[in-house]
Structures are given as C-alpha cells and as structure tokens.
A and B are shown apart, each in its own frame.
Chain A
C-alpha cells in the first residue's frame, strides 16, 4: 500500500513536468525571441507582410498575445484531463 502510494505520486510528478516543461518552453522562448529582436535587430520587424500594411513586428506581436492565451487553454485542458484523475487516484488510495 505504502509503496503503491509513492509510485502514484511519482507518476503524478512526472506527468505534471511532462505537461509543464514544453509549455514553459513555448512561453519563454518566443517571448525572449521577440524582446531579443527588438533589442538587437529591430529592423527585422519592419517589413510589411503579404502585401498588406501590417508589419512583421505587429503581426508577430498579435500572434504572441494569441499564443499566450492558447498556452493557458492547453494547460487547463491537459491538467483537467490527465492530472486530475491521477490526483483523485491518490486521494482515493489515502
């Protein structure tokens, strides 16, 4: 019983980091890429895209806002679907 309990906890911790790490990466890298371009090579954001009046910087900025929201949605979805059942299993075992 006790070892089973510990196994379940380990499964939970591994599951959580499997979900959290890629999402964390997906949050931090694009943001620092965005900030990095502004700091080191701002002219990279100037060109207008697809024959419109929307610059690459504004386009990517708006995409980044959307991405941030989507990341939170993905996490809530994954956490409710995979993490919660694992927590319930531990609770029932207790």
Chain B
C-alpha cells in the first residue's frame, strides 16, 4: 500500500513538472492524496472485518439507513452525472432537467416495489431473490449475465470518462490515469470489500454535496439569491435566448420519449450495484429509510447541478479565460462545473472540485466492480457451478480473484475504448437493467405464476433484444459503425425490449404445465409471506 502511495506521489510530481498552466494542480493533488490516504487507511481497517463472505459482500449488514442512503447517492452521483448533467444544462438549459428527473424517478419505484422484499429475501445479490423459489442454476446464470453486462458497460463509460477528465485536470497521460483508477479500485475492493467501498462512497458523497453546494451558493450570492434575476441573466446571455427555458431537441418523437422514460424509471431498479446496497442494512425498516435519504440527497444534488449549469452560462460562457479558439469551453461542455468552480471560488475551489471529481470516479468504479465480482463468485461460481456446496473460504478467494480480473479487464477496455463514443453505454446499461434484471426481480417477487422456464426464456430475450436494438439502432449502427441508415429506427430500445420480456414470460408461464413449474408456483405463498414480513431472514443471515 505504501508503494502505491509512493507511485501516486511520483506520478503527481511528474504531472506537476509537465503542467504548464499555473498552480491549481498543487491544491487538487494535495487534496487527492489526502483522500487516497484516508480511504486506503479505511481499506486497511475494513480488511480485518471483510474476511467472511458476509463481511465482504454486505459489510456485515450493519450499515445504518442514513449511511446507506449516502452510499447509494454516492453510487448515483457519478462524475458523469455531476459533470454531464451540469454540462447538459449549460448547453441546453431545460433539457438537462429531463435527465435529472429521469434519474430520480426510479427511486420511488425501488422504494415502493423492490427495496423491502429484496432485503427480506436476498442475502448478497439480487439473483438470490429471483432464484429463491426457482431453479438455481439457470436463473443464477441469467441474472449474472444481466448483472455483468450492466456493470461492464457502466465501467467502460466511467473509465473512459475518468481517463479523459484526469488528463485535463491533472495533466496525467490517459493510460496512467486509467491504471491509477483501476489499481486503486482493485485495492479497495479486494482488501476492504463492501465495508471499505461503502465508506469510500460515503466520504465522497459528502465531499461532492459540499463542493457542489459551495459552488451553487457562490453563484446565487452574486444574484442576491433572486432566481428570477438569475434566469433573466442566463437567457439574455445564452445564444438560444429564452428557448433554453423550454424543451429543446433532446427528445423529438413520442416513442423515443416513452422508451427513454421507461428505461430510466425501471432501469434504476435493475442496477446490480444499487440493489446490492440493500443487503448492507440490517432490516427492511433501514432499507426503506435509506431510499428516502438517498432520494433526498440525489434530488438536492440535481437542483445544484441545475444552478451550476445556469451559473456557467452566465459566468463563464463569455469569459475568454475558459474558452478555446473556436469559442467552446476548454475541455468540452462537461467541464462547465469545473470552470465555474474556478470562476466563483478561485483555485482553492477548483482544486477541491477536481479532487472530488477524481474521488467520485474511484468510488463509483469500486461499487460497480464489487457488484460484478459478486455476480461471478456468488452467483456463477458458488451457486450455479458448485450448487452451493463449496466452502465460504473458496468463494471468498474466487470473489477476490474476480475483482482483480474485472479490474484488469476494465483497465484494458478503458484503453481500447479511449477514442470511442461511450456515451450510449450508460443508456444501454439502463435498457438492459430495465428489460432483463428488473422484470425478473419484479415478477419473482409479485407474480405467483412465474416459473423457471418463463423467467429464463423471457429474461434472455429481454437482455438479447435490448443489446440487439441498440447495436442496430442509430447510435451504434450509423454513428459508430458508419452505416447509412439504422435497421432499428429508435435510439432507446426499452419500450420494445421490456414489452418482449414481459409478454414472453407471460406466455411461457401460462403454458408451462411442467411438474417443476407446478412446484415453483406452490412455493410462492411462503416466499410471499417472507418478502412481506421479513420473518425468516435472521436465521438465514447467521452462519
């Protein structure tokens, strides 16, 4: 661990040496090293408590509702959503709000339908819930495929964004940025498990909320906290004028609108790294609380990004210090929040926000990696291939190997996707989550007639169709692969792929008269009882 800190120090000296544009890097590097030291210390502390499977996957189940709420909001407030949404508001005004609301609307759905039954039925991963009364092996394999595709797509998007951001902020070469992020992430997760990942996430969430609040307050201060005056100033400066206050071109046709709406609304409830967080709290009461806290923090955070985006329009869009020769922001529109920090708070705030952005990336990729590793070790290895007959020690070993493997894979993918457009990947991850993971989870909890046959065929078709529609759609088929017209005409597949999943499952289950299917239906009542009351969970979590 000391070696790693040393090498980071070395890297940062290198970047100081190569950095030509002023001293702001000193502050951000000091702050970043402070963050890394603290989190590595936490990892060391957590490593003693993460030696059991329960400690590794769920932090021993002792995280409180407030702590988990902060950690969940940390998972959601990625650098992509902080910089991306404030950048989108800066560019388009109102349209940024559509995304903010879309990312928030999934939370009541999770709270009302998923959180409590998930906590009451599952142990380490959402596949525990889906396979509760169904055939372990096929369901686990399918759920793991759903988890891993969501996690890996998300990881690639985060990693490429991270490399580019760090390149701009710290002057580090892309490759070393990707490797530092990957290396630290492997350390956090293999040694500290869920406990370290949760605390890294909590610290970062607090820092990010604090930093964004300071920027927003400093911006509003300049307008005497008069929202009216503030918006008036923004519309008079922005080249699109008053139209930035109403819907622009983000969504043009009704089908895309509904499709994107569905993916955002139900996708959140199918993201494995989010679902996994509900196993870290002791019971359904805390699970419930954590969603309310998380929704509050995330909602507040989106209000801040909205103020930051409009603030950037007013304070930096006309300031030559932040524009390049073609009159766009240095580093692109996603740098709006970073430049604004400098404009309102000078180099101290700039340094702080840069360090927080880096910390954010680290925390988010760690959470994702842990979810991916648990899909490999808990679902695929321990339950699908060894049918639960392995020792816990072996499962732990596999989970650590899986973490390292995923870390290396992520670094590799981050490098090969360096110059690709990866923005669609998060959208695809949401589409898969909404079309495969979410329907399986929802129906296994609430629909008596769900059988293994229906779940496996319907879930696979949902997963497969979401991917196929995106690959054949305008973003990949035309923009990336260079074909002239898309085979599938819409950008967002969820409306179609979700329909395919639900209808297939319904048809297959209705006609499934097999003996196994009959047995699975009969087990529904006792599962439903447990999912509603939580009775039975204590005996399962004690080893």
Q: Of B94, B104, B265, which contacts A58 at CB under 8 A?
A: B94
| A38 engages B257 (CB within 8 Å) | yes
Q: Which stretch in B380-388, B497-505, B509-517, B529-537 binds the other chain?
A: B529-537
User: What is the CB-to-nearest-CB distance from A67 to chain B, in angstroms, rounded to a whole number?
Assistant: 9
- Give the CA-CA distance A30 to B187 in the complex, in Å: 44
Question: With a CB–CB cut-off of 8 A, which chain B residues contact A20?
Answer: 112-113
Contacts known (A36-B257, A76-B289, A84-B285); A42 close to B101, Cβ less than 8 A: no
| A61 engages B112 (CB within 8 Å) | no
Question: With a CB–CB cut-off of 8 A, which chain A residues contact B247?
Answer: 37-38, 42, 45, 57
Q: Is B320 an interface residue (CB 8 A)?
A: no
Least CB separation from A80: chain B residue: B285
- Name, among B232, B235, B257, the residue most crowded by chain A CB atoms within 10 Å (CB to CB): B257
Question: With a CB–CB cut-off of 8 A, which chain A residues contact B436?
Answer: none
Q: Of A58, A69, A84, which contacts B299 at CB under 8 A?
A: A69
Interface residues, chain B, with chain A CB atoms under 8 Å away: 94, 97-98, 100-101, 104-105, 107-109, 111-113, 227-228, 231-232, 235, 243, 245-247, 251, 253-254, 256-258, 260-261, 265, 285, 288-289, 291-292, 295-296, 299, 302-303, 306, 529, 532-535
User: What is the CB-to-nearest-CB distance from B528 to chain A, in angstroms, rounded to a whole number?
Assistant: 8
Question: With a CB–CB cut-off of 8 A, which chain A residues contact B306?
Answer: 62
Least CB separation from A47: chain B residue: B246
- Give the CA-CA distance A37 to B285 in the complex, in Å: 37
Chain B interface, DSSP helix/strand/loop, else mixed: helix
Query: In A27-67, which residues have CB < 8 Å from any B CB?
Result: 27-28, 31-32, 34-40, 42-43, 45-46, 48, 52-55, 57-58, 61-62, 64-66
Contacts known (A27-B105, A31-B265); A53 close to B245, Cβ less than 8 A: yes
- Give the CA-CA distance A35 to B94 in the complex, in Å: 13
User: What is the CB-to-nearest-CB distance from A16 to chain B, in angstroms, rounded to a whole number?
Assistant: 7
| A79 engages B288 (CB within 8 Å) | yes
- Give the CA-CA distance A45 to B250 in the complex, in Å: 14
| B535 engages A46 (CB within 8 Å) | no
Q: Of A34, A64, A73, which contacts B292 at CB under 8 A?
A: A73
- Give the CA-CA distance A65 to B261 in the complex, in Å: 15
User: What is the CB-to-nearest-CB distance from A40 to chain B, in angstroms, rounded to a whole number?
Assistant: 6
Number of A-B contacts (CB under 8 A): 140
- Name, among A35, A42, A69, A84, the residue most crowded by chain B CB atoms within 10 Å (CB to CB): A35
| B258 engages A32 (CB within 8 Å) | yes
| A72 engages B246 (CB within 8 Å) | no
Chain A interface, DSSP helix/strand/loop, else mixed: helix
- Give the CA-CA distance A72 to B288 in the complex, in Å: 9
Q: Of B292, B303, B534, which contacts A76 at CB under 8 A?
A: B292
Q: List 28 A-B contacts (CB under 8 A).
A: A12-B533, A23-B108, A36-B257, A39-B251, A45-B246, A45-B247, A52-B228, A54-B228, A55-B94, A57-B245, A58-B245, A61-B94, A61-B100, A62-B97, A65-B100, A65-B302, A68-B108, A68-B299, A69-B299, A71-B108, A72-B107, A72-B111, A72-B291, A72-B296, A75-B111, A76-B288, A76-B289, A87-B534
- Give the CA-CA distance A73 to B94 in the complex, in Å: 27
Question: With a CB–CB cut-off of 8 A, which chain B residues contact A16?
Answer: 532
| A31 engages B101 (CB within 8 Å) | yes
| A45 engages B94 (CB within 8 Å) | yes
Apart from A31-B105, A65-B299, A72-B292, 7 more pairs, CB < 8 Å: A35-B261, A53-B235, A57-B247, A68-B295, A69-B292, A75-B288, A76-B111
- Give the CA-CA distance A54 to B533 in the complex, in Å: 46
Least CB separation from B261: chain A residue: A35
Least CB separation from A79: chain B residue: B288
- Give the CA-CA distance A26 to B295 in the complex, in Å: 16
Question: With a CB–CB cut-off of 8 A, which chain B residues contact A94?
Answer: 535
- Give the CA-CA distance A16 to B446 in the complex, in Å: 13
| A72 engages B535 (CB within 8 Å) | no
- Give the CA-CA distance A46 to B244 in the complex, in Å: 9
Least CB separation from B231: chain A residue: A53
| B112 engages A27 (CB within 8 Å) | yes
User: What is the CB-to-nearest-CB distance from A94 to chain B, in angstroms, rounded to a whole number?
Assistant: 6
Contacts known (A53-B235, A72-B295); A61 close to B101, Cβ less than 8 A: yes
